[in-house]
Amino acid sequence: QLERKLAALEGTEACIAFASGMAAIWALFSRLLTSGDHIVMSDVTYAAASELANDTLPDLGIEVTRTDTSDLDGLRKALRPNTRLLYLETPANPLLRLTDIGAAAKVAHEVGVPVAVDSTFATPIALRPVEHGADYVIHSLTKYICGHGDALGGAICGSQADLDRL
Ligand SMILES: *Cc1c(COP(=O)(O)O)cnc(C)c1O
């Protein structure tokens, strides 16, 4: 029921719920990336996502480039032939910096790179990233979607085909 409601809120075909937001992010990274792959990621993200990028992924042989994703020229330069994912967080926690999802997704899709957006801070009330070209939408349900600070959860929303890949 939760997955169906979240998919309806985000306007996606499907959703997978997880035990926490970090579990959702880790599921995405560990299923889409393998040794020798490269990820481009916002240089400002939730602290535990930054720990994954700075420590865990390099330990697994996954290359990480962190860049200001609101700077499209910098973003274009960061993409490589082995880039498998562009990971955005907008508004970014904690700076609330915004990335133009549509413009960033256009740059990534031109070179065949899928785009994930951590939309925890916006919630589907303010923003539906797939309407702007995102392929995966991540939520920590622990935050605003829970609303009362009394439950942990996470989610990935997207197309059935993309979620079947996870
Ligand atoms: C809190 C948070 C997470 C992690 O969520 P948990 O449910 O605490 O694991 C991920 N992304 C953002 C933007 C967050 O604020």
Closest ligand 1 atom to Cα of 120: 13
Cα 43 to Cα 121: distance, rounded to the nearest angstrom: 16
- 85-98 pLDDT tens trace: 999 999 999 999 99
State which H helix or E strand residue 27 sits in: helix 21-32
Establish whether residue 120 lines the binding site of ligand 1, counting it when its CB lies within 6 angstroms of any ligand atom. yes
Cβ-in-10-Å burial (0-12, 13-18, 19+) of 40 comes to: buried
- 2-35 pLDDT tens trace: 999 999 999 999 999 999 999 999 999 999 999 9
Whether the Cβ atoms of residue 89 and residue 118 lie closer than 8 Å to each other: yes
Establish whether residue 91 lines the binding site of ligand 1, counting it when its CB lies within 6 angstroms of any ligand atom. no
Closest ligand 1 atom to Cα of 153: 7
Whether the Cβ atoms of residue 53 and residue 67 lie closer than 8 Å to each other: no
Q: Which of 52, 88, 93 to mutate to test the pocket of ligand 1 (most atoms within 8 A of CB)?
A: 93
pTM: 0.97
What confidence score (pLDDT) does residue 9 get?
Answer: 98
| Coil vs helix vs strand at 113 | coil
Q: Which of 143, 145, 156 to mutate to test the pocket of ligand 1 (most atoms within 8 A of CB)?
A: 143
Whether the Cβ atoms of residue 151 and residue 15 lie closer than 8 Å to each other: no
